Structure formats: structure tokens, C-alpha cells
């Protein structure tokens, strides 16, 4: 798998295109067990906010938020593919859909670690 230091990512229809700066390659590839991640099934990896640029189709992205309304999940309005989200656990990072990376087969990463999103620390109330 060839992960470039600057890598392109696209949704299925190509209406949305991202440019990702990944100097350390694919960082922290994972799945999550939260309700959203379980249903979408994507492998995510992390990039700093400043390392993700939308180079095409920003107006074609739609935002979905739920529960604490902290994470910002982005999807292509045309094909429905999840491209990235601003993370709740680390709002200084985006998680990107590894399957959107050009020339990358996410199945080559299996097995992938699974984060316990059901018991997310941001859901815990501190008294």
C-alpha cells in the first residue's frame, strides 16, 4: 500500500475531493463501535485539521451531527459516501475514510483495531 505524504481522497462519484497531508503515512487506522461508526463500517485514520483541504465540492458536502453534537460528520450529497469527520475525542483532528484514499484498498489493512465508542469518555458525566 503506497500512502503518499500528500494524498488525494474522493467520494464515490468524484464530486468531493480532498487533499490530505500525511507526513507519517496512515495514522491510527481503526474502526469504532459507536452507533454511527458501526452502521457506516468505515476504517478511519487521523489527520490534523490543517492537513485536510477540500479542493473540490465543498458545497456538495452535507453535515450530520448527533448525541453531543460535537463531532461533525461529512457526506457527499450526491453519492452519500462518508468522506471525513471532525473528531469528538480530539477536535484538533479529522478522521478520514480510508476507503476514499486514491489507490488504497482498506481491506489490505485488516485486521484493524476497534475503538470502544459505545463507552466514549466524552459521554461520561463527571460529578
The whole-angstrom separation of Cα 99 and Cα 12 is: 10
Q: What is the pLDDT of residue 65?
A: 94
What are the pLDDT digits (tens) for 68-111? 898 999 999 999 999 999 998 899 999 999 999 999 999 998 88
Helices (H), the chain: 35-40
What are the pLDDT digits (tens) for 15-74? 999 999 999 999 999 998 888 888 988 999 999 999 999 999 999 999 999 988 989 999
**Domains in the chain, ordered, with CATH?**
6-115 (2.170.150.70)
The whole-angstrom separation of Cα 122 and Cα 7 is: 31
Residue 39 cell numbers, joined: 452502521
In 3D space, the residue among 50, 85, 46, 54 whose CA is nearest the CA of residue 69 turns out to be 85
The whole-angstrom separation of Cα 30 and Cα 47 is: 13
The whole-angstrom separation of Cα 57 and Cα 9 is: 12
Indicate the pTM of the whole model.
0.88
User: φ, ψ for residue 90 (rounded to 5)?
Assistant: -145, 90
In 3D space, the residue among 88, 44, 45 whose CA is nearest the CA of residue 64 turns out to be 88
Q: What is the pLDDT of residue 115?
A: 76
Amino acid at each position: 500500500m503506497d500512502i503518499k505524504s500528500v494524498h488525494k481522497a474522493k467520494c464515490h462519484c468524484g464530486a468531493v475531493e480532498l487533499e490530505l497531508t500525511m507526513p507519517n503515512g496512515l495514522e491510527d487506522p481503526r474502526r469504532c463501535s459507536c452507533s454511527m461508526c458501526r452502521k457506516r463500517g468505515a476504517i478511519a485514520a487521523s489527520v490534523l485539521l490543517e492537513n485536510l483541504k477540500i479542493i473540490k465540492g465543498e458545497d456538495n458536502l452535507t453535515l450530520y451531527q448527533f448525541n453531543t453534537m460535537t463531532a461533525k460528520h461529512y457526506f457527499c450529497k450526491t453519492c452519500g459516501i462518508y468522506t471525513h469527520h471532525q473528531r469528538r475525542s480530539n477536535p484538533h483532528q479529522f478522521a478520514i475514510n480510508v476507503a476514499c484514499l486514491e489507490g488504497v484498498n482498506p481491506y489490505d489493512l485488516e485486521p484493524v483495531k476497534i475503538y470502544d465508542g459505545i463507552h466514549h469518555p466524552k459521554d461520561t458525566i463527571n460529578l
